Amino acid sequence: MSVADSGFTSVRSADLSPDDTYKLLIGCVQPRPVAWITTVGRTGVVNAAPFSSYNYIGSQPPTLAINIVQRGDGGLKDTARNILDTREFTVNVVNEAQLEVMHKTGEDFPPEMSEPETFGIALLPGVAVAVPRIAESPVQMECHLTHMLTIGNGHNVLYLGEVVAFHLSNAVYANGKIDSERLRPVARLGGPFYTGLGKIWHFPPSAKGR
Ligand SMILES: Cc1cc2nc3c(=O)[nH]c(=O)nc-3n(C[C@H](O)[C@H](O)[C@H](O)COP(=O)(O)O)c2cc1C
């Protein structure tokens, strides 16, 4: 690490431990949206867990990507195992009202324990997939797994899902648009911190781009 006169601290990735790399990355890439993912296990247990290494990556077809890391013992998290078994998952958007319970579902629970059941999270049946969605979530996106991409040494695996159905609450959706102020989405910062909507800037669309 060098602290140069430029006023920047410059760090070569090769000099960082895996843990420090992770901490630095989640500080550099923030705020991150949170995918609260529901899946169903082989025995029918409904699982819910949050993932903020997540974004949309394509629109034709609509495609989401989620990076799920290995467990400490090298095994799969329940979400990853269920996606591999069923090739289906649902991404539920988290707003301020769900923040606290969503955070609780980020703890490590055994596969036979259903987070929705444990924390009293109401579910609605899936429409295009067999996976239930989180009723209080204002936006739910049902996905089919399309690709899996192992990154580097296999610690991170990217799961790509095509959105086959969108469910949009009337409270946030009208005329083909989601109202951000009504949605009140939450996002993850570095460390165990979250943020909500701050100031919203508006630039009128130009003919040249978005
Ligand atoms: C806000 C938040 C974001 C998270 N993002 C990720 C992530 O992007 N990738 C990941 O592997 N784990 C992430 N986690 C940790 C998982 O949610 C956690 O390992 C959880 O126990 C996995 O549950 P499962 O075994 O039921 O799938 C995050 C946790 C929280 C609270």
Please answer whether residues 35 and 48 qualify as being in contact, where contact means their C-beta atoms are separated by less than 8 angstroms: no
Residues in the chain: 210
Nearest CA to ligand 1 atom 18: 106
Cα(5) to centroid(ligand 1), Å? 39
pLDDT at 209: 62
pLDDT at 6: 84
Tell whether the model's pLDDT for residue 187 goes beyond 90: yes
**Using 50, 70 and 90 to split pLDDT, how confident is the model at 116?**
very high
Report yes or no on 187 lying in a domain. yes
Tell whether the model's pLDDT for residue 124 goes beyond 80: yes
Cα(58) to centroid(ligand 1), Å? 23
**Using 50, 70 and 90 to split pLDDT, how confident is the model at 2?**
low
Report yes or no on 200 lying in a domain. no
Q: Where residue 177 sits, what CATH number does that domain have? A: 2.30.110.10
Tell whether the model's pLDDT for residue 57 goes beyond 90: yes
d(CA 127, CA 120): 21
Q: How many domains does the chain have?
A: 1
User: Of the candidates 184, 156, 14, 206, which has an alpha carbon nearest to the alpha carbon of residue 96?
Assistant: 184
**Using 50, 70 and 90 to split pLDDT, how confident is the model at 208?**
confident
CA–CA distance from 4 to each of 12, 15, 16, 95, 170 (Å)? 13, 17, 18, 41, 53
Nearest atom (ligand 1) to Cα of 37: 27
Query: Could you tell me what percent of the chain has a pLDDT over 90?
Result: 91
User: Of the candidates 137, 156, 138, 140, which has an alpha carbon nearest to the alpha carbon of residue 148?
Assistant: 156
User: Of the candidates 106, 90, 86, which has an alpha carbon nearest to the alpha carbon of residue 98?
Assistant: 106
Report yes or no on 75 lying in a domain. yes
Tell whether the model's pLDDT for residue 44 goes beyond 80: yes
pLDDT at 171: 98
pLDDT at 189: 98
pTM assigned to the model: 0.96
Q: Give the domain extent around 102.
A: 17-195
pLDDT at 3: 58
Measured distance between the N- and C-terminal CA atoms of the chain, rounded to whole angstroms = 39
Report yes or no on 208 lying in a domain. no
Report yes or no on 124 lying in a domain. yes
* CA atoms within a 13 Å half-sphere pointing along the CA-CB vector of 34: 27
Report yes or no on 141 lying in a domain. yes
d(CA 57, CA 108): 28
